[in-house]
Amino acid sequence: MGLSVALNAARGSLQANAVQTDVVSRNIAGVDDSAYSRKIASLVTTEGPVRVVVNRASDTALFDKMIGSTSELAGREAILDGLKRLEETVGDTQADQSIAAKISALNVALGNAANLPNDNNLAKAAVVAAQDLARSLNHASDTVQSTRANADAEIDNSVKTINDLLAQFDTANKAVVLGTARGADISDALDTRDKILAQLSREVGISTIVRAGNDMAVYADNGSPLYERGARTVTFETTPDFGAGTSGHAVFIDGVSVTGKGSVMPLQAGRIVGQMTVRDEIGVTYQKQFDAIAGGLINALAETDQTASTGPALTGLLTYPGGPALPTATTGLASVIRINPAADLAQGGNPFTLRDGGMNTGAQYTYNTTHAAAFADRLRALRSALGTDRTFAADSELPLSASLQAAAESSASWLEATRKVASVQVDSESALLNRASTALSNATSVNRDDEVAAMLELEKSYAASAKLIATIHAMLQSLLDAVR
């Protein structure tokens, strides 16, 4: 071997060593970065100097499983968070703050007043219990609608995040494609692209396809393209105020609806789907339950015509802005139900109208026509009406026939059962994601000990190449000295 050939070999070895050392250093620096994949520097022999090709450890199947589990978990977590907010309507079961507890308190207060119908304080206590019940329904309705509004705002945040991530993905994907065309090291660019995909999968379920030149297309889990040679536009219009009858807007990808009843192929997973479930399904159903109970209370406590003529039944102890006519529909009643001013002492009313009737104009709505102090029939009738089974709509998820007390208890049970199911699903998806992430990490993450060992080997290789160059230098120097 000539000295020039040996020198070129030693120089090539040093250059390869430098690339390998750089790769090992990058690996060590990425030990604590969950988005970093181990880089592998492979030596390729050619007719000229040895060449180093840098690849990265990857497992497409495990990565796809991981982002799929991420989407499912994010959606389940959004549902569970919404249910936890709705639990404020039930409160601590020991504190008697639920609607069922308030109905029970009103029933007890009416019973106490019936036992001593001439006691003004007991009459006032019954009115206060009814007022407390109405306010609890108002608060529950407000909580439901604020939860729906919060979900609507979170959907808007998700859409903004998706558009931002798609813009970042466009930059990363172009870097990968350009680097592939030039034969450059694209391992870090691939890491960046995968990191963006992992973040995107939290907002919406996705699938990917890698095409020629390492170009990647990204699709939502319903098949809608999110990125195909360019980012697609995802749009959403927020709703300023939510009420019982308010319907939120849908999410659109390239102008096509991908959520809600108007979508032919709706999205299946991700935070958007979870928030949509809270806003359009759970929140709507829970509101229907409160509205149905409010409607039942107004009807149960109504005043009826006590004369031979059959006048219409009118609102009694509990009323609403559309009174005194009884409500023909229940939508939104829980948010507006209130105490009848005619029975509220604070509003100039008389609590004894609860015993005697007459909250409405007309003698036919008076029950105690003689104004007898011991008259308790009306109070007992009100207690009986509260305990009478009523019919509830099937879409409210309440029993088809139940008393108001039982309906309120069923509503709380429905919420707790729904929350329990959501919690189990979150735990299950969290375990699946943890297993998928661990498996992917085992396949692609960096082992510090292995990298330190590789660095020691590279140091030995560097020392050998440096010694070879030093020897060649000495031999060349000897030749030059001999020539002189």
Decide: 30 and 475 in contact? Cβ < 8 Å. Answer: no
> Quick one: angle between helices 377-387 and 283-300, nearest 10?
150
CA 156 to chain centre: 12
**pLDDT confidence of residue 311:** 82
- Measured CA to CA, the distance from residue 33 to residue 242 in angstroms comes to 42
DSSP state of 302: -
Residue 411: which H helix or E strand, with range? helix 404-444
For residue 340, name the pLDDT band (cuts at 50, 70, 90). very high
The encoded tokens of residue 165 equal 């991530």
pLDDT per residue over 130-185, tens digit each?
999 999 999 999 999 999 999 999 999 999 999 999 999 999 999 999 998 988 88
Average pLDDT in the 305-315 region? 85
120-126 contact pairs (CB < 8 A, 24+)? 120/351, 120/352, 123/351, 123/352, 123/354, 123/355, 124/345, 124/351, 126/351, 126/354, 126/379
pLDDT per residue over 37-66, tens digit each?
666 666 666 665 666 666 676 678 888 899
Following DSSP, what letter does each residue of 335-375 receive, concatenated? HH-EE-GGG-GGGT--TTHHHHB-SSSSGGGBS-TT--TT-
pTM metric for this prediction = 0.86
pLDDT per residue over 374-433, tens digit each?
999 999 999 999 999 999 999 999 999 999 999 999 999 999 999 999 999 999 999 999
CA 425 to chain centre: 13
In this model, does residue 264 exceed pLDDT 60? yes
